[in-house]
Amino acid sequence: MEQTENHSYEFGRFQLIGADRVLLREGEPVALTPKVFDILLALVENVGRVVEKDDLMKRVWPNTFVEEGNLTQNISLLRKALGETPNGVQFIETVPRRGYRFVGAVRARFSDAEFESALSDREQVVIEDSTSGQTGDLNRPLVTAEATAPVSSPSFFRRRIPGFIAVATLIVVAIAGIVYVTGIGKAGHASADSIQSIAVLPFVSEVSDSDTNYLNDKISESLINSLSKLPQLRVVPRSVVAGYRDKDLDPRKIGKELNVRAVVTGRMQRHGDMISIQADLIDLDNVAQLWGQRYDHKLADVMLVQEDISRDIFENLRVKLNVEEKKQLESYRLYLKGRNAWNKRTEDGLLQGIKYFEQAIEIDPNYAPAYAGLADCHNMLVVYGIRQPKEGFPKAKEAAIKALEIDEKLAEAHASLAFIKFRWDWDRAETEREFQEAIKLKPSYGPAHQWYSSFLVAVERFDEAIAEAKRTDELDPLSFVASSHLAWIYYLSGQSDKAIEQAKKIVDLDPTSFPARRYLGLAYEQKGMYPEAISEFEKGVKLSGSPLMLALLGHAYAASGKRAEAQQVLTDLQQLQSQRYISPYTVAAIYAGLGDQDQAFKWLDKAVDERDIWLMNLKVDPSFAKLRQNRRFTDLLAKIRLRP
């Protein structure tokens, strides 16, 4: 599909910049979600034409099934953001039973090459208000706007608005590089004496709520941790500067109290799913701002690294470092990139994460966090059915042990090893010891609490499991993974109503979250709401293509009496075995739903032989409730060490 995202458009008080994916109102960014922006761009490109609903949904959600209500909701958000035209009417017109049309005068601005071509052809066409009945073609935008010269620098048309940092990277490295390399003077020249001490003051916001405070704390913490890695720079600990959170911040007074040469201040604004952060570096001796930068990004991308910016700053940073210091900082940069990739939880992301961690290890073979990251990637490759347990877990275990050999106090490595002890070694005592050690060493490390809750629910310690899952959600309130996990723990604890309530929160925020739809479907099925469960699993299959989701759909078919459909899923899974790993545990669940206990136990025995990752849920999984009175079920629990 050909799109014109390199164009910029003007209408009313607005400037729509396709290349930067930003909408400006009188020069100020307007907060739009990614999907709302895509809808606006499609409508503006076809100004005056009716864009059919189906065409619009295919463009905005090309590989995802969504209901028409999602489009309606996003159109409503867009109308609120745009307001009215100068003539007092809305920019977006609804055409009943068909679609939507953008009305209002629109002018397109071309690139340099396009502008020269336009001048040579002397084509100048102004797009005005239109009420024609033409239908927009999303493959061929209507816009043939007035050939207008490109706006010169420093207009937003000439530069991209930089992305919001991976909370621990972009602002961090920018400040770190400037502080260490030069101690820049007012006009950008190096000063005679570099900065040797610094404090990162608590970031402030116009609105104080739990999510905003969480972000502010994380930004400050990441800045302090990263700046502390710079040699010969004294950084005031977070525990000390945290005391200034609710005070009026007078940088000079605080600088004297803390005995530092410079301070970092920051202000954050949140508009819907957009975050703007203004960070400043202040030289207290000279009462001068050495550096300042504004970062704008979508909340959903808060953990992504803006690679081009961080790379450039790291290049400048290395100028003043010796060989060993260069290695340390480069390894750290690659580690952050690896963690960002791992957080995506996709096959491409996990494989990319492995590459980043391996590159970090190649530069610094003694960098323990990179080995822990490597272990986590191999663990998740098994969880998501991309690798067989016998392929992924041994590699993960080797990496986790290597990390602990280098740094026995690394919480992330203890959590990684605990995951393996639980899912692969079936060692309950060691699992608990490792999880508790990880949490003791780093209480704020969310994955340790998350994975520990999975262990606790598997051994029927439900109250503790729910408490740990809630702690995970509290530590990372902006993470859909953490919030969805709480629904999973509710489900396995038998609290289906709470699971439904929690999963619905995520689905309402992100209809494409297939983990949330998985847990929602499971909870519906637990309540006997089979049509609702089947609907969620069908959507999950379309969203993810995951054999796990397909198997869950098969079980729901079986449990609801749709035997033919369940048998078809079994056939589909058998055909998929030649392409990717199919969990025998999930196949056993379908047979259990069909009431075929012999086949169910046959596949559970196969799951034991393969040390299937989902076996640890066997004791509490509602899918196997009807098998629990069978002696063979008790024998299975003994084999996988889930009996007391």
Does residue 453 or residue 271 have the better pLDDT? 453
Mean pLDDT along residues 122-130: 36
Does residue 489 or residue 345 have the better pLDDT? 489
Per-residue confidence band for 212, with pLDDT thresholds at 50, 70 and 90: low
pLDDT tens by residue, 503-537: 998 888 778 888 899 999 999 999 999 999 999 99
pLDDT tens by residue, 407-419: 999 999 999 999 9
List the single range of 250-264, 274-288, 314-328, 625-639 with lowest mean pLDDT: 314-328
List the single range of 30-39, 244-253, 476-485 with lowest mean pLDDT: 244-253
Per-residue confidence (pLDDT) for residue 614, from 0 to 100: 95
Per-residue confidence (pLDDT) for residue 324, from 0 to 100: 73
pLDDT tens by residue, 539-584: 989 888 888 899 999 999 999 999 999 999 999 999 988 888 899 9
Per-residue confidence (pLDDT) for residue 279, from 0 to 100: 73
List the single range of 194-208, 526-540, 562-576, 590-604 with lowest mean pLDDT: 194-208
Does residue 456 or residue 181 have the better pLDDT? 456
Per-residue confidence (pLDDT) for residue 72, from 0 to 100: 80
Per-residue confidence (pLDDT) for residue 482, from 0 to 100: 82
For 288, the enclosing helix (H) or strand (E) is strand 288-298
List the single range of 1-10, 147-156, 324-333, 423-432 with lowest mean pLDDT: 147-156
Does residue 591 or residue 98 have the better pLDDT? 591
**Of 219, 318, 363, 233, residue with least CA distance to 277:** 219
pLDDT score of 328 more than 80: no
pLDDT score of 444 more than 80: yes
Does residue 269 or residue 420 have the better pLDDT? 420
11 in the Ramachandran plot: left (φ > 0), alpha (ψ -120 to 50) or beta? beta
Per-residue confidence (pLDDT) for residue 1, from 0 to 100: 38
Per-residue confidence (pLDDT) for residue 456, from 0 to 100: 97
Counting residues of the chain whose pLDDT is more than 90, the rounded percentage is 39
Per-residue confidence band for 248, with pLDDT thresholds at 50, 70 and 90: low
**0.85 exceeded by the pTM?**
no
DSSP structure class, residue 135: B
pLDDT score of 589 more than 90: yes
In degrees, rounded to 5, the angle at the alpha carbon of residue 428 between the alpha carbons of residues 423 and 429 is: 140
DSSP structure class, residue 316: H
**Of 542, 491, 490, residue with least CA distance to 512:** 542
Cα–Cα distance for residue pair 587/376, rounded to 1 Å? 26
**Of 507, 574, 566, residue with least CA distance to 540:** 507
pLDDT score of 232 more than 70: no
Per-residue confidence band for 363, with pLDDT thresholds at 50, 70 and 90: very high
List the single range of 380-389, 400-409, 627-636 with lowest mean pLDDT: 380-389
pLDDT score of 329 more than 60: yes
Sheet of 14-17, strands arranged across: 28-29, 22-25, 14-17, 8-11, 107-109
**Helices and strands per DSSP (H, E), number in the chain:** 26, 14
Mean pLDDT along residues 318-340: 73
pLDDT score of 158 more than 50: no
Helices (H), ranges, 206-298: 210-227, 238-241, 251-258
pLDDT tens by residue, 297-326: 655 555 443 333 334 333 433 335 567 767
Which range of 24-28, 254-258, 465-469 scores highest in mean pLDDT? It is 465-469
Q: Confirm if 366 and 403 have CB atoms less than 8 A apart.
A: no
Per-residue confidence band for 463, with pLDDT thresholds at 50, 70 and 90: very high
Per-residue confidence band for 478, with pLDDT thresholds at 50, 70 and 90: low
pLDDT score of 294 more than 70: no
pLDDT tens by residue, 73-120: 788 778 878 876 655 567 888 887 788 988 878 887 655 444 444 334
Which range of 60-74, 139-153, 239-253, 519-533 scores highest in mean pLDDT? It is 519-533
pLDDT score of 185 more than 60: no
Per-residue confidence (pLDDT) for residue 264, from 0 to 100: 81
Cα–Cα distance for residue pair 342/440, rounded to 1 Å? 24
pLDDT score of 639 more than 90: yes
